[in-house]
C-alpha cells in the first residue's frame, strides 16, 4: 500500500539555525500539506500546496516558513531561523482530492 514518507525522523538543531524537513507524498496525489503538533496538543494546520503553489496557509506559517516541491516527488518545509517554540512533531500529508488526507510518520524537531 502506498504511503507518505518523511525524513529525518528526528532533527535536533540550535536556535537560529535553518532546517529543512522532507516528505515524499503518495505518487498520484495532487494536494500536499504540512501540519505540526506540539507535544500534548492538537494537530495544527500550517500550509496546503496544489499545482506548485500555496493554496492556503495558517497564521502559524509566517515568513520564517516556506515550502517547495523541487522535483516530481519531494515536498519540503523550510524553517529559516528556528525558535524554541518551533519544537514539535511535523507531519506531511497528501491527498488525491483534498478530502481524505494521508499522513507520514512525522519528523520530531527539537530546537535547543
Stretch that binds another protein, among 11-19, 21-29, 68-76, 99-107 (CB under 8 A): 99-107
Q: Please identify which residue in 5, 30, 45, 64 interacts with another protein, judged by CB under 8 A.
A: 45
59 SS3 class: coil
What does the DSSP assignment read for the chain? ----EEE-SEEEE-TT--EEEEEE--TT--EEEEEEE-TTS--EEEEEEETTEEEEE-TT--TTEEEE--SSS-EEEEESS--GGG-EEEEEEEESSSSS-EE---EEEEE-
Q: Please identify which residue in 65, 104, 109, 111 interacts with another protein, judged by CB under 8 A.
A: 104
- Give yes or no for residue 25 binding another protein (CB under 8 A): no
User: Which string of x and - marks every residue 47-86 that binds another protein (by CB under 8 A)?
Assistant: -x-x----xx-x----------------------------
Residues in touch with another protein (CB under 8 A): 31, 33, 41-45, 48, 50, 55-56, 58, 89, 91, 98-106
Amino acid at each position: 500500500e502506498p504511503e507518505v514518507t518523511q525524513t529525518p525522523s528526528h532533527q535536533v538543531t540550535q536556535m537560529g539555525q535553518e532546517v529543512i524537513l522532507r516528505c515524499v507524498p503518495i505518487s498520484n496525489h495532487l494536494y500536499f500539506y504540512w501540519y505540526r503538533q506540539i507535544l500534548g496538543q492538537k494537530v495544527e494546520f500550517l500550509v496546503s500546496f496544489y499545482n506548485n503553489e500555496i493554496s492556503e496557509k495558517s497564521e502559524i506559517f509566517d515568513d520564517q516558513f516556506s515550502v517547495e516541491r523541487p522535483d516530481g516527488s519531494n515536498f519540503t518545509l523550510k524553517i529559516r531561523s528556528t525558535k524554541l517554540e518551533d519544537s514539535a512533531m511535523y507531519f506531511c500529508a497528501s491527498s488525491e482530492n483534498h478530502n481524505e488526507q494521508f499522513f507520514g510518520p512525522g519528523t520530531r524537531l527539537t530546537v535547543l
